[in-house]
């Protein structure tokens, strides 16, 4: 396995990554600028194919357009079947982190290696019903785990509380095998009311879509998430 590449993940904990899924897409450049000025550390970009998840969102062309306006790294969450086919395309479009789903990768080690070969940090995401222990033999090779706290596909869903336990379990497993710099990202139903609990459980990257973009005060909300 090629050496891990952490370069594009900002330092600091917790990192706040607003999910652009809930922004006003007709004004995406302005929205990118606004959340960045409000303190976003990264921009979370949700890619959905209508196959792995029941919704279709954006492809490399839009990622490339976002990249032209972004100053912070693009955290690209691939909710797609057979992601290996598209990794190079998203890397070329400007992704700074590529996350694939455990459930979509029969040869996960190869997918992680392909992301590293593109020079990017690799993330693996778990759906709510997928147990943490399945990552044991890949954990040392990846930079981040994205714990889904809703079923992927849509913004604005209610947080599934078992995610908290999964985050603690994952942090304990990472510590046990010496992966002290593993990033644990949580995605779905994250609000200012559960952020502190998630961080206490071991999460250090918080994705928040609808809560940030409907807040009416991006800076205030991002500060509240950071705690
Ligand atoms: C859901 C996406 C999330 C979504 C989160 O499939 O992966 O990133 O945008 O949205 P909220 O924060 O509204 O649950
Ligand atoms: Zn996401």
- Residue-averaged pLDDT of the chain: 97
The response to whether residue 153 sits with its C-beta less than 6 Å from ligand 1 reads: yes
Q: Is 157 in the pocket of ligand 1 (CB under 6 A)?
A: yes
C-alpha distances (whole Å) from 37 to each of 9, 75, 126, 155 are 18, 17, 31, 22
pLDDT at 8: 87
CA of 190 to the centre of ligand 1 (A): 8
From the alpha carbon of 188, which atom of ligand 1 is closest? 14
Q: Specify the number of domains making up the chain.
A: 1
H or E stretch covering 210: helix 210-213
Is pTM beyond 0.85 here?
yes
Q: What is the pLDDT of residues 33-82, one digit of tens each?
A: 999 999 999 999 999 999 999 999 999 999 999 999 999 999 999 999 99
Residue 75 phi/psi, 5° resolution? -100, 100
**Residue with the two structure tokens 């959905």:** 48
What pLDDT, on the 0 to 100 scale, is given for residue 170?
A: 98
CATH of the domain at 45: 3.20.20.70
Q: Are the CB atoms for 167 and 201 separated by under 8 Å? A: yes
Name the active-site residue from 41, 49, 75, 187: 187
User: What confidence score (pLDDT) does residue 144 get?
Assistant: 98
Low-confidence ranges of the chain (pLDDT < 70): 1-4
Show the domain range for 185: 4-226
Is the C-beta atom of 75 inside 6 A of ligand 1? no
């Amino acid at each position: 396995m090629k050496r891990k590449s952490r370069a594009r993940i900002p330092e600091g904990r917790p990192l706040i990554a607003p999910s652009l899924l809930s922004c006003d897409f007709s004004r995406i450049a302005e929205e990118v600028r606004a959340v960045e000025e409000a303190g976003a550390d990264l921009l979370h970009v949700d890619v959905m194919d209508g196959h792995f998840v029941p919704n279709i969102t954006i492809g490399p062309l839009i990622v490339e357009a976002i990249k032209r306006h972004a100053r912070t790294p693009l955290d690209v969450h691939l909710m797609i079947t057979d992601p290996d086919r598209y990794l190079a395309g998203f890397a070329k479009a400007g992704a700074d982190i590529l996350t694939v789903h455990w459930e979509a990768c029969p040869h996960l080690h190869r997918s992680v290696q392909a992301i590293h070969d593109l020079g990017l940090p690799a993330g693996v995401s778990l759906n709510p019903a997928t147990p943490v222990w399945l990552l044991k033999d890949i954990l040392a090779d990846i930079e981040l785990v994205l714990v889904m706290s809703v079923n992927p596909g849509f913004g604005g869903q209610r947080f599934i509380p078992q995610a908290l336990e999964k985050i603690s379990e994952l942090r304990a497993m990472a510590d046990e095998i010496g992966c002290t710099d593993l990033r644990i990202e949580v995605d779905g139903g994250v609000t200012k009311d559960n952020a502190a609990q998630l961080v206490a459980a071991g999460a250090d990257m918080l994705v928040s879509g609808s809560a940030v973009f409907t807040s009416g005060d991006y800076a205030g909300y991002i500060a509240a998430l950071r705690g």
